[in-house]
Amino acid sequence: MMKSPFLGVCYYPEHWPEHRWIEDAQKMVALGLRQVRIGEFSWSRIEPEPGRFEWNWLDRAIETLGDAGLGVMLGTPTATPPKWLIDAYPEILAYDINGCPRKFGSRRHYCFSSEKYADETLRIVEAIAKRYGDNDYVTAWQTDNEYGCHDTVRSYSPAAKLAFQKWLQARYENVNILNKKWGNVFWSQEYHSFDQVDLPNLTVTEPSPSHLLDFYRFSSDQVVKYNRLQTKIIRQYAPNKTIAHNFMGFTFSFDHFAVANDLDIAGWDSYPIGFLDVGPFSAADKERYLRQGHPDIAGFHHDLYRAVGNGRWSVLEQQPGAVNWAPHNPAPLTGMVRLWSHEAVAHGAQNVNYFRWRQAPFAQEQMHAGLERPDFKPSPAYAEAEQTFLDLEKTHRNNNTPKAKVAIIVSYEAQWVFEAQPQGENWNYVAILFEWYAALRRFGLDVDFVSADMPINGYKIVIVPSLPILTQAQIDRFSNSDALILFGPRTGSKTPTLTIPHTLAPGLLQSLLPIKVARVESFPDFHRIDGDFDGTQVAGHSWLDHVESELSPIVSSTDGGLLYCKDNYYYLTTLPNEMFFAALVATLAQKAGVQTTLLPPDIRLRQRGDLIYAFNYGPEPVDLPTNIAPKSESYILGAQTLEPAGVAAWKIE
């Protein structure tokens, strides 16, 4: 059995006078917090000048926090290389897509390919790990901060160019192979040597999609390599400590599974209201969920990062109030901070850290709420954190999330393929994943994400929203599975170097489904492709694969078949609207013998251990339908009527 989940907070001792630390630490403990996450932006205070380390303040901060009873999660400060370092080695800077260095003055200004920065990273991480590796108060480590934040995975620097050329050489060995695989005869793009290959930016019109895809793969590999540099040193000096990284929401620019292979815990930073404003949501959803965030934003990421962390994951930053970085920044509805905390636990989080302890009155994030206001008084979230702690005393028990019956296959590479070649500007792979997730969750189903490279044994339904590059190993897994497997449009449509397969799409999938995508179309949002699904009027949008097949479609439209099926395999040629999703989920569930319950729109359910949780994301109270609600004496939290932002939990009967 896993350890019970606990609460924590992000704290920046360097922002506050030292005499405050002890009081802050004691208040944290009184609030029920058990972890404090510090240090991730503190390089200029740890090493104010080259080679001159000032450990005393950090020693005292760790001691104060630890003495109070908090476990310290210590971040490596590499997201913020200090000014003196950048001045000494400007080649550390990342370059944007316009070929301009990204200047000092905020954060994440380093290039993953800078060898100098790799050396400096080794140096600072080793110094910190040496000093605190065996400190009993430092119970966990965090590498860097939010890889990819502020669009920082892909750098177009001279260092990246050199590293990319080496990466290509290792991958293709012979430049003629690269020419052939990329199709460089087109537009006279042929190279004679790897050192002629430039980065795919600043071209007159679009660069070769194969070139782009390899650059995206390379950029992802650089993140993996960079993170590994850090974990290796930390493990050397802190061999038994947990190492995490805080991943982000809706971020697909690098392969999180590959980074997490070197971590113990996949952390993520949950800002549902900010994500609602910047994410792919309708105006109606943005209005309805203004102060709550869409009901599936948090769950989607909890389940995704549970997969990324191979079962071990945490919320390393939890939104506690208004943030500062979205176009608009409403405050959460009363109760949402508690709801989000419980929802994370319900999905199996090991801990939830609020970001941040106190709102800073200065600098970039002075408008970002904390548990305390800048005047040291509690903000509304303070009491909600406290309440959550008290609730957890009641819900503490088995933390295991059972394996779901339904899996969604997720691939970071798929996102890069579609970025390199969208063919329709409203094709949004991450939004497609999200819509599948939301459609399944509306039916009360728990969902597991599974990496495209992992086994799918034991699932009854497997959704492959789209997987443009297929491997034989994946086909073998699909063919050995008893699950109903649904493949979305564009699956199998590309070779590994982003060309069209000889047999056309869906390529290797043709061994399981006798279909050929003869041509495709993409459409603006206003165009609907109407179809009839067993009497239900459904519609597709944005995309259509025109299929040639001996099979008759089970959903057709005047434009062509929308859904095909053979044995346990389904192929969908378009992106479904809400009715279509509902009909698909209901049909698959019924055929697979998976029980569903169509939930009220604002309610989500989640099982953890022997508890069922219900969450109300709506701004109005909702009565749990009688087919869900337990006997009134069974509630451990809440009751049948869920207030706005209400949480209920009960033991499975």
- Enumerate the active-site residues: 146, 317
Binding piece for ligand GAL, criterion CB under 6 A, among 144-152, 255-263, 448-456, 590-598: 144-152
Is there binding between residue 447 and ligand GAL (CB under 6 A)?
no
Q: Would you call the peptide bond into 358 cis, given omega within 30 degrees of 0 as the criterion? A: no
Contact between 323 and ligand GAL (CB under 6 A)?
A: yes
Closer to ligand GAL by CB, 322 or 440: give it.
Answer: 322
Choosing from 257, 271, 437, 443, the residue that interacts with ligand GAL (CB under 6 A) is 271
In whole angstroms, what is the distance from residue 311 CA to residue 265 CA? 8
Say how far apart CA 168 and CA 148 lie, in whole Å: 22
Q: Is 128 in the site for ligand GAL (CB under 6 A)?
A: no
* 43 forms part of the interface with ligand GAL (CB under 6 A): no
393, burial (CB in 10 Å: exposed 0-12, middle 13-18, buried 19+):
exposed
368 vs 460, which CB is nearer to ligand GAL? 368
**Omega cis (within 30) before 506:** yes
Nearer to ligand GAL, 25 or 248 (CB): 248
368 binds ligand GAL (CB under 6 A): yes
Applying CB under 6 A, the span of 165-173, 282-290, 317-325, 401-409 interacting with ligand GAL comes to: 317-325
When the beta carbons of 367 and 598 are compared against ligand GAL, the nearer one is 367
Contact between 353 and ligand GAL by CB under 6 A: the answer reads: no
Q: Which is nearer to ligand GAL, 255 or 269 (CB)?
A: 269
Which whole-number Å values give the CA distances from 2 to 7, 141, 265, 318, 425, in the listed order? 15, 19, 13, 22, 44
Q: Does 269 bind ligand GAL (CB under 6 A)?
A: yes
Under 8 Å between Cβ of 509 and 487 = yes
Shortest Å distance, C-beta 257 to ligand GAL: 21
For residue 175, CA distances in Å to 166, 181, 196, 211, 491 come to: 12, 10, 10, 13, 29
H-only helix segments in 173-282 = 175-182, 209-237, 256-260, 272-278
**Piece of the chain touching ligand GAL by CB under 6 A; list 49-57, 142-150, 292-300, 544-552:** 142-150
Q: Which stretch binds ligand GAL (CB under 6 A): 141-149, 181-189, 565-573, 589-597?
A: 141-149
Phi, psi dihedrals of residue 48, rounded to the nearest 5°: -65, -25
Tell me, residue by residue from 149 to 178, as one string, x for binding to ligand GAL by CB under 6 A and - for no binding: x-----------------------------
- Residue 494 CA to residue 297 CA, distance in Å, equals 30
Among 64, 113, 139, 145, binds ligand GAL (CB under 6 A): 145
Nearer to ligand GAL, 150 or 166 (CB): 150
| Chain position carrying tokens 């939290």 | 637
DSSP string, 350-393: SEEEES-SB--SSSTTTTS--SB-TTSPBPHHHHHHHHHHHHHH
Q: What is the largest CA-CA distance in the chain?
A: 77
Residue count at the site for ligand GAL (CB under 6 A)?
Answer: 12
Contact 191, 184 (CB under 8 A): yes
Centre a 10 Å sphere on the Cβ of residue 58 and count the other Cβ atoms it contains. Answer: 21
Alpha carbon distances (Å) from 432 to 250, 426, 546 = 12, 10, 19
User: Which listed residue (120, 255, 317, 384) binds ligand GAL by CB under 6 A?
Assistant: 317
Among 355, 418, 449, 487, binds ligand GAL (CB under 6 A): 355
By CB under 6 A, residue 268 contacts ligand GAL: no
> Of the two residues 365 and 521, which places its CB atom closer to ligand GAL in the complex?
365
Q: How far is the CB of 247 from ligand GAL (least distance, A)?
A: 10
- What type of residue sits at position 633? E
The residue behind tokens 């969750």 is: 441
Nearer to ligand GAL, 61 or 515 (CB): 61
Tokens of 386: 């406290």
CA-CA distances (angstroms) from residue 205 to 10, 99, 118, 202, 219? 45, 16, 34, 8, 21
Shortest CB 10 distance to ligand GAL, Å: 8
Q: Find the shortest distance in angstroms from Cβ 74 to ligand GAL.
A: 15
Going residue by residue from 406 to 435, which x/- string records binding to ligand GAL, judged by CB under 6 A? ------------------------------
Instruction: Give the binding range for ligand GAL (CB under 6 A) out of 61-69, 117-125, 143-151, 232-240.
Output: 143-151
* Beta carbon of residue 323, minimum distance to ligand GAL (angstroms, whole number): 5
Return the number of other C-beta atoms located less than 10 Å from residue 206's C-beta: 11
Would you tell me which residues interact with ligand GAL (CB under 6 A)? 145-146, 149, 246, 269, 271, 317, 323, 325, 355, 365, 368
